[in-house]
Structure 1
């Protein structure tokens, strides 16, 4: 009697080191490939169709999609930081332009706040140049800010509101167009009306938001 059939055979075409989502960086992995084979007397003879591929961590034995090999948390953080910086600049410059003119006090406030929020310098000339580019291109801040709304934590969103508010008040006035723009920014950041009104109350009474209190140390 001849015994034949099919079964899956797992092979390891590649090994290496990756950033395991469970174990962290520096973890060893195996690239596992499963292929169906025609068997004769239970011995795989003829390779048939491929059933699947996955990455397996040698330490935790977790299995992941092949895309996990492209996972680079440091690059992701750098990309997010760059997008955040760009969005903050766009928001503040849009606020400067809300009343139709670039006031020197507002321009200087943008530079000060950008330094506070990002730790990087910005100069009045940069403000005027980016404002001109923004007016010429018609580029909207909504897209840049909207893409960050789901990634910014509450404190990050509040700091964006504070920056826009302080820029608007730098010339001593808070025009209706600036008020409407600030409300739009809060909406894009998905802040509730009560949260937004609470921020305005704090800013109106104190001029800036208090620094968040760090959580207490355990024990």
Structure 2
């Protein structure tokens, strides 16, 4: 990108063209695991630095250089730390992110009725540990509940924003967690929770059969 400023000149009463531009250079090449492509791709290690230009000619650097990785496949730019990530570590990061999001979804489902009982607290802790293999202590649960109440975000809106990157098995597992959270009080499902579960089925793009399978599978964790 070039930015120009026209200044009057004593030698040339018309103008002097002064501007800025970014100069980008390739420093190295290699192969890496691209998170966007989800595959091994060739990359270019590049540096970018802003220069002052005079008549479109770079003259003086006016800032530090920025180093980044550019994927030859999808053209995405990444911080150089992406070179330290392999496929296994990337998939682990995605799995950990899903677990956190699924637990938040279950917490929001519990809070639909604006209350959370001791029985529901214990149930959320248990399903987090058993269903998602992600231990959740009372302090963290309290923090998640407090954030949820202060933000006022609805369970359906949250799931809509995060579930696009979930795989189909992850969607069914998250629904199991939300169903267990909705029924944790031991009482009949409230109309609001029942309606929200139906909305979740549509948001997660599950068929009626998949929805029923997820509910049936969640009954294995009734002891939670």
Normalising by the residue count of structure 1, what TM-score does the alignment of the two structures yield?
A: 0.59
1:17–1:29 CA contact under 8 A, matched in 2: yes
| Cα deviation 1:180-201 (Å, max 9, x = unaligned) | 121122222111234323433x
- Mapped partners of 1:90, 1:138: distance in 2: 13
The unaligned stretches of length 5 or more in structure 2 are 1-24, 46-69
| Cα deviation 1:18-41 (Å, max 9, x = unaligned) | 21679x66x87678xxxxxxxxxx
1:168–1:178 CA contact under 8 A, matched in 2: yes
User: Who is 2:32 aligned against?
Assistant: 19
User: Who is 1:157 aligned against?
Assistant: 171
2:172–2:210 CA contact under 8 A, matched in 1: no
| Cα deviation 1:142-188 (Å, max 9, x = unaligned) | 45422443332222111111111112222212222221121122222
Task: Report the CA distance shift for 1:176/1:87 in structure 2 as closer, same or farther (over 3 A).
Answer: same
- Mapped partners of 2:138, 2:26: distance in 1: 56
Q: Does the residue aligned with 2:126 lie in a helix, a strand or coil?
A: helix
- How many residue pairs are counted as aligned between the two chains? 165
| Cα deviation 1:199-218 (Å, max 9, x = unaligned) | 33x25xx7138xxxxxxxxx
Matches within 5 A, 1:96-111: 96-111=110-125
Q: Does the residue aligned with 1:190 lie in a helix, a strand or coil?
A: coil
2:30–2:43 CA contact under 8 A, matched in 1: yes
| Cα deviation 1:11-61 (Å, max 9, x = unaligned) | x95433221679x66x87678xxxxxxxxxxxxxxxxxxxxxxx89xxxxx
User: After the TM superposition, which parts of structure 1 deviate over 4 Å for at least 4 consecutive aligned residues?
Assistant: 27-31, 68-76
User: Who is 2:102 aligned against?
Assistant: 88
Shift of 1:85: 3.0
Shift of 1:135: 1.2
| Cα deviation 1:104-146 (Å, max 9, x = unaligned) | 1111111111123443321233323322221122133445422
User: Who is 2:211 aligned against?
Assistant: 196
Task: Report the CA distance shift for 1:19/1:138 in structure 2 as closer, same or farther (over 3 A).
Answer: same
- Mapped partners of 2:203, 2:28: distance in 1: 44
The structure 1 residue matched to 2:154, chosen from 128, 132, 140, is 140
1:15–1:28 CA contact under 8 A, matched in 2: no
- Mapped partners of 2:76, 2:104: distance in 1: 33
RMSD value, Cα = 3.6
- Mapped partners of 1:28, 1:152: distance in 2: 27
The structure 1 residue matched to 2:199, chosen from 184, 194, 198, is 184
- Mapped partners of 1:98, 1:171: distance in 2: 13
